[in-house]
Amino acid sequence: MATIDLGAGVAIAGAGIGGLVAALSLDAIGVEVTVFEAVDEIRPAGVGINLLPRSTRELDALGLLDRLASNAITPDTLGYFAKHGREIWSEPRGLEAGYRWPQLSIHRGKLHRILLDTATARLGADRVVLGHRLTAVDTSADTASATFAGPGGTEVNVSAGAVVAADGIHSAARAQFYPDQGPPQWSGALLWRGIVDRQPVLDGRSMIWIGYPAQKFAGYPIADLDGGRQSFNFIAELRPDDATLADREDWNRRGDLADFLPAFETWVFDWLDVPALIRAAPQTFVYPMVDRDPVDRWTFGRVTLLGDAAHPMYAIGSNGASQAILDARVLAGCIGSHSDVEAALGRYEQVRLPPTSAMVEANRGLGPERPMQLVEERAPTRIRPHRRRDHPFGGRRDHRGLPAHRRVRPRSPRRSDVARRRTY
């Protein structure tokens, strides 16, 4: 067995989005931190991911916003459409909605690479240790410890001032604290995700949601390419009878077009050919919509949970990565403003557990998809388009070429949008 003594430093298990932002945030306030990641090599995994303004504000505070924004798209609109392609509603996003920080739509692999490169540069390459899988945690009055399965099966015991388990939805630390939690709970929905290179959809800055909760197609651009083309990320969602498709949730599991494309074959509109778009994807990945019940505690003495380890939630509303980033920033703020580690981790839990538990519960309801469900119930068949002179908005078209629709007015910046030094 090998031992590593980090003294009063912090050990983080998991170099995902939450773990790396926690490492950068702790490093920024002068705390020594080492990250231990299970995989031997970090590859650009995943497809598109969204970062909401509340999280890009935090990434800006870490000096990362410009680099991220130049590798991303800043969406300005979210449009809701019925399954026949007619617009139900649209609303502004990010800067267009009056936030001081943009929303970013980005490939998860690029986001991960930027965070990893920055962590390696700022902390030192030896502070991001690959090939170490967390197996157990422990805490005592004056130290925390974490046991890892290291290279070649060696057991590595790390002692530190605090241990942060940011080891994702299958967290080993969470399983230790909650041995009866069982596997993640499946909502019954499956998500097939893919990326296509194509001409922009609408104005090239719009996120689109089409259909209704039981059959939905969502998409958004994640990068500008040469020749005016874009990388366009899509998610096709169905609730199939065949539960075996849900199997174990694995972000890298390949999808099969035969399992979902037939349901979308008739979704051909004058502004988008959904089946053609899906067919153009070189590959798809299938992931079940899963979460876990919220728990009462994340912090046990000098050990705490963060990100998906703490509050895995349905992939609705762009909150997975954003909430992990907020956890990381609050955690660092608490450690920076408390001399007692246990008090700091307790305060972190007090600030972050209630809102994220509420979000897990809210995502189980229909949330922002409720209007789509109402449209499906009340207008299940195609409605004849208004003749131009009868159109309620006078046949006007908006900048995307769609019939002009009532839009939510951008709001003024909120006080909470103003970046500030966090103390708790």
Q: Does 108 help bind ligand FAD (rule: CB under 6 A)? A: yes
Q: Are 252 and 45 in contact (CB under 8 A)?
A: yes
What's 164's DSSP letter?
A: E
Nearer to ligand FAD, 211 or 307 (CB): 307
Q: Does 128 help bind ligand FAD (rule: CB under 6 A)? A: no
Q: How near is the Cβ of 412 to ligand FAD at its closest, in Å? A: 30
Q: Does 219 help bind ligand FAD (rule: CB under 6 A)? A: no
Q: How near is the Cβ of 37 to ligand FAD at its closest, in Å? A: 5
Q: What number of chain residues touch ligand FAD (CB under 6 A)?
A: 30
| Nearest partner of 202 among 269, 279, 263, judged by Cα | 269
Binding mask 59-98 for ligand FAD (x = CB under 6 A): ----------------------------------------
What are the Cα distances from residue 267, in Å, to 43, 84, 167, 273, 284?
Answer: 34, 7, 39, 7, 19
Token representation of residue 211 = 């259909």
Q: Does 333 help bind ligand FAD (rule: CB under 6 A)? A: no
SS3 104: strand
Token representation of residue 349 = 């839990």
Q: How near is the Cβ of 172 to ligand FAD at its closest, in Å? A: 4
Per CB under 6 A, the segment of 257-265, 296-304, 307-315, 345-353 that binds ligand FAD is 307-315
Q: Does 12 help bind ligand FAD (rule: CB under 6 A)? A: no
Among 129, 315, 334, 353, binds ligand FAD (CB under 6 A): 315
Q: Does 237 help bind ligand FAD (rule: CB under 6 A)? A: no
What's 38's DSSP letter?
A: S
Q: Does 13 help bind ligand FAD (rule: CB under 6 A)? A: yes
Measured distance CA(168)–CA(75) in Å, rounded: 27
Token representation of residue 79 = 């449009």
Among 82, 316, 321, 344, binds ligand FAD (CB under 6 A): 321
Q: How near is the Cβ of 242 to ligand FAD at its closest, in Å? A: 23
| Nearest partner of 77 among 54, 53, 88, 93, judged by Cα | 93
Q: Does 38 help bind ligand FAD (rule: CB under 6 A)? A: yes
Q: Does 16 help bind ligand FAD (rule: CB under 6 A)? A: yes
Nearer to ligand FAD, 85 or 131 (CB): 131
SS3 73: strand
Q: Does 255 help bind ligand FAD (rule: CB under 6 A)? A: no
Planar angle of CA 361, 79, 365, nearest 5 degrees: 15
Q: How near is the Cβ of 20 to ligand FAD at its closest, in Å? A: 8
Nearer to ligand FAD, 74 or 176 (CB): 176
Measured distance CA(133)–CA(37) in Å, rounded: 6
| Nearest partner of 161 among 187, 185, 143, judged by Cα | 143
Among 62, 156, 172, 360, binds ligand FAD (CB under 6 A): 172
Residue in the block written with tokens 């035969």: 258
Q: Does 37 help bind ligand FAD (rule: CB under 6 A)? A: yes
Token representation of residue 204 = 């090239």
- The angle that helices 320-337 and 53-61 make with each other, rounded to 10 degrees, is 40
Among 26, 49, 164, 334, binds ligand FAD (CB under 6 A): 49
Among 6, 10, 11, 14, binds ligand FAD (CB under 6 A): 14
Measured distance CA(237)–CA(212) in Å, rounded: 9
Nearer to ligand FAD, 60 or 87 (CB): 60
Q: Chain-centre distance of CA 162, in angstroms?
A: 25
Q: Does 100 help bind ligand FAD (rule: CB under 6 A)? A: no
Residues 150-169 that bind ligand FAD (CB under 6 A): 166-168
Residue in the block written with tokens 């916003």: 65
Measured distance CA(250)–CA(208) in Å, rounded: 25
Contact positions toward ligand FAD, by CB under 6 A?
A: 13-19, 36-39, 45-47, 49, 108, 133-134, 166-168, 170, 172, 251, 307-308, 315, 320-321, 324
